[in-house]
Amino acid sequence: MPDPPVQPVTPVVIPANPLTSTVAPSGQAAATPAPTPVVTPTQETTPLASISATPVATAQPATSGVGHNTAAPTEAPVSKSGMTKGAKYAIIGILTLVFAVITIVFLSVKSDRNESAQVNEVLAQAKELNDAGKLQDGIELDLQQLKGVLNRTTSAQETDNRSLLLKTLAYTRAKGSYDVNDVILNHVIKTRTRPSIRTDIFKSVMTRRQAVANIAPLLEFAKTTKENDSAAAAIEAARASAIGQLADDYINDFLILINDTDSATVRGAAERAAADLISQSEAKESFVNPIHGTFESALEDSSKFAMLRLLGATGGDKAAQTVGEILKSKDTNSVNAALAALGKWSDDSQFDTLVDFIETTENSKLRTKAFDATYAFLRRDRKRDSEDLADMWKAFAGTATTQKEKLQVIHGMANQKHEWAISVLEFFIEDQDDKVIDKAQRAKELVERRLRELGGE
């Protein structure tokens, strides 16, 4: 039987490295790496029946999931120069940013130069006024000039003109409608600068710029800052502004500072401020209860001792009773605080208590403390009757036993302007100690000369 005629096969053109697949029974495409051979018209092929039995796979696009085709990835448009639009935009963005930074730096440098020149002009004017002794009369600055001076003053790099800058701030007057004190305080409290610089500004500037409105921000800073020296300086500045004001408006703030702080520096400044406010008050005893209450509730001895000393500034029966009880204590530190309170007593009512303690105590250190407290008490500038003052000094002189104590009394007599001082000095001229005798004779001559100049009492 003759063979069937060979049928021409239409050639199937396959791209290079085609991805071919066979259909699995489940309908999923399985990729096969082997390429399908290319058939040309001149090649003989297997019979048509064989061809129909062997499926020819055509290239299918890759799929991301079963039965789903995805679009082929598109390439970014490329310009004639070979650069994509994204790259162009990135370069433009970078150049814009660089330009902006350069502009900011340029403007900043220009601003700094302008401010520096402005401050130099202010300093030249301030120096001229200072040399003429007129700076304390005031120097007018506009807001921009003041800010420039503040920036220069709080700069760590500024060293040569700091003293003049501080004096300029102390005597600045507003040229325009702004509050000089408010601007200075806001800058000094909030700016980042060395604590020593901040301390100097509080001491040299704000203690001179006395205003009631300064008290609250200064005390708030003292309560919140961790810079102890700056806090103490702020308290001193607040005290300077509070002098002449009603003490009860601010006394609690100072008591809180005394009770809450761990710093002896801050506590001391707050105690001095509270004592000054109390001493100027005409109703000193009105502060006994709040101070005594704080004394009772204080957890730290340092706070208790401070309150004891303040009770001396208030005076009164309740304060005297509290201090008297402490004098009987066996705790030396507590007794020291009580003696300090007696040395600062608001009137002369507790003088005898001091003298009695000097004569009866067996503790030499406490005796010295009491003697020094009595000496300071008598030297305080207080309106006393001449005869009363003479009796107190003579009683005090009678307690002196050591050379140091006798010389201390003699020194106190040398500053007197009263005839009775001579009789006290004559008592020491008869002493057994040659040094005491010599000092007493010299002091007597000094007092006699002063009395002659004054024409006697």
Q: Note the pLDDT tens digit of each residue in 305-355.
A: 999 999 999 999 999 999 999 999 999 999 999 999 999 999 999 999 999
Task: Identify the band that residue 6 occupies on the pLDDT scale cut at 50, 70 and 90.
Answer: very low
Rounded Cα gap, residues 192 and 198, in angstroms: 9
Residue 450 lies in a domain: yes
- Interval 396-412: pLDDT, tens: 999 999 999 999 999 99
Domains of the chain: total: 2
Rounded Cα gap, residues 109 and 99, in angstroms: 15
Nearest to 146, CA basis, from 209, 195, 207: 209
Amino acid at the residue 4: P
186-203 core/surface letters (b: 16 or more CB in 10 A; e: else) = ebbbeeebeeebbbbbbb
Residue 286 lies in a domain: no
Residue 84 lies in a domain: no
- For all residues of the chain together, what is the average pLDDT? 82
Question: Structure tokens of 70?
Answer: 């995805």
Percent of the chain with pLDDT over 70: 78
- Give me the mean pLDDT over the 120-133 stretch: 95
| Residue where a domain terminates, one of 209, 234, 268 | 209
Confidence check: pLDDT of 92 > 50: yes
Q: What is the pTM of this model?
A: 0.69
**DSSP assignment string, 351-413:** HHHHHHHHHH---HHHHHHHHHHHHHHHHS-----HHHHHHHHHHHHTT--SHHHHHHHHHHH
Residue 448 lies in a domain: yes
Residue 443 lies in a domain: yes
pLDDT of residue 382: 81
Residue 144 lies in a domain: yes
CB 206, CB 189: distance < 8 Å: no
| Residue where a domain terminates, one of 187, 209, 231 | 209
Dihedral of the alpha carbons of 419, 424, 429, 433, in degrees to the nearest 10: -150
Task: Identify the band that residue 106 occupies on the pLDDT scale cut at 50, 70 and 90.
Answer: low
| Helix, strand, coil % in the chain, rounded to nearest 5 | 65, 5, 30
pLDDT of residue 137: 95
Q: How many CA atoms lie within 13 A of 293 on its CB side?
A: 8
- Give me the mean pLDDT over the 376-402 stretch: 92
Confidence check: pLDDT of 454 > 90: no
The contacts found for 362-365 with CB under 8 angstroms, 24 or more apart, are: 363/332, 365/332
Question: Structure tokens of 371?
Answer: 């003697």
Q: Which residues contact 338 (CB under 8 A, 6 or more apart)?
A: 308, 323, 326, 327, 329
What is residue 134's DSSP assignment? Answer: -
pLDDT of residue 282: 84
pLDDT of residue 266: 96
Residue 446 lies in a domain: yes
Any idea how long the chain is?
457
Q: What domain range includes position 125? A: 111-209
| Residue where a domain terminates, one of 183, 209, 235 | 209
pLDDT of residue 307: 95
- Interval 411-449: pLDDT, tens: 999 989 899 999 999 999 999 999 999 999 999 999 999
Residue 176 lies in a domain: yes
- Interval 159-177: pLDDT, tens: 889 999 999 999 999 999 9
Task: Identify the band that residue 107 occupies on the pLDDT scale cut at 50, 70 and 90.
Answer: low
Rounded Cα gap, residues 344 and 337, in angstroms: 11
